[in-house]
Amino acid sequence: MPIELHDPVVALMREVARDVIMPRYQNLRAEEISEKAVDDLVTIADKESEIRLAEGLASILPEAGIIGEEACAADPAILERAGDGLNWIIDPIDGTGNFAAGRPPFGIMIALADAGTTLAGWILDPLTGRLCHAILGAGSHIDGERVQARESGDVLPIAALAVYFMTPEERADIQARADGNFTLVDIPRCAAEQYPRLVLGQNDVSVFARTLPWDHAAGTLLLNEAGGCCQRLDGSPYMVGDLRRGLLGASSPRLWDAAAETLFGEARSG
C-alpha cells in the first residue's frame, strides 16, 4: 500500500510547499508568529499547511487517522492515540524557528504508521525541492535515487547533539562524555535536515532528547532503511506513540554501538 501512495503524497507536499509555505517565507508579519511554549514557535504557515495536508491525506487514505503537530498542540488528547491503528503523522513545517526567522533549513515531514510501526515517510525541503522518502522494507531514496547511509570518514566521528530539551545536568554530562571522542557541530534545529545529514555522510551521530512522532517517524525510517541505525538508548526500535525521552541515530550500526557506549554507558539501561 505505501508504494501506491507515494506519488499522491509527494504531489500534495509539493503543492502545499508552493501555495502555502513559500509565499510566507521571509514574508511573515509579527502577528503571524506566536509562541506555543518557551522556545517553541508557530506561524500562520504552520497552521494553514497542516490544514491543507490533513485534508489532502484524508482524501488519499480515508481510513487513516490524522496526528498533526498543531492539532495536538490544540488538543493534547490526540497524541494519546498516535500508536493506535493506522495514522498519518504530519509536521507541517519542521524547523519553524528557522522559518520564522527567514532562514533555512525547514521542511515538511509526513509519515504513515500502523500500530506504532512507521510504514512510510517523506521529507521535503521546500527551498531546494529535495525529497527524501523511505518505505518499510523497500529502502530509502533521495530525489528518486536509492541511497545507502555512509560514515563521514573523519578521524573523530561528527556529532550533532540536540541537547536543548535536556536538563542542565544532562547537557553537562553528555558534553563531557563527547569531549575528545567526537567532533561536535552545530545542530540545524530541524529534524527534516538532520536525518538527511546522517544518511549523506555529513554527520555521523545525532542525539535527540524529545522524540515526538512528527519530528522522528519519517526520519528514523529514512535512516534505518538506508542502512544506518536509529534506536532508543536501550536498543529498542522507535515506535510512534512511545513518548519516552531519548533517541540516538548514527550513520552505521557500528557507530551507533560506539556512540551509545561513549555517550550513555551505564545510563542506557536506567
Q: Is the pLDDT of residue 256 over 50?
A: yes
The predicted model scores a pTM of: 0.95
Sign of CA dihedral 270, 254, 194, 176: positive
- Main-chain phi, psi angles of 127, to 5 degrees: -75, -45
Domains and CATH numbers, the chain: 2-147 (3.30.540.10), 158-269 (3.40.190.80)
- Main-chain phi, psi angles of 267, to 5 degrees: -70, -15
Strand residues in the chain grouped as ranges (E):
33-37, 40-43, 65-68, 86-94, 107-114, 117-124, 131-135, 139-142, 145-147, 158-162, 183-184, 205-208, 229-231, 247-250
Q: What is the pLDDT of residue 163?
A: 76
Section 52-57 average pLDDT: 98
Q: Tell me the per-residue pLDDT of 59-68, one tens digit each, with 9 for 90 and over.
A: 999 999 999 9
Q: Tell me the per-residue pLDDT of 195-249, one tens digit each, with 9 for 90 and over.
A: 999 999 999 999 998 999 999 999 999 999 999 999 999 999 999 999 899 999 9
Q: What is the pLDDT of residue 265?
A: 82
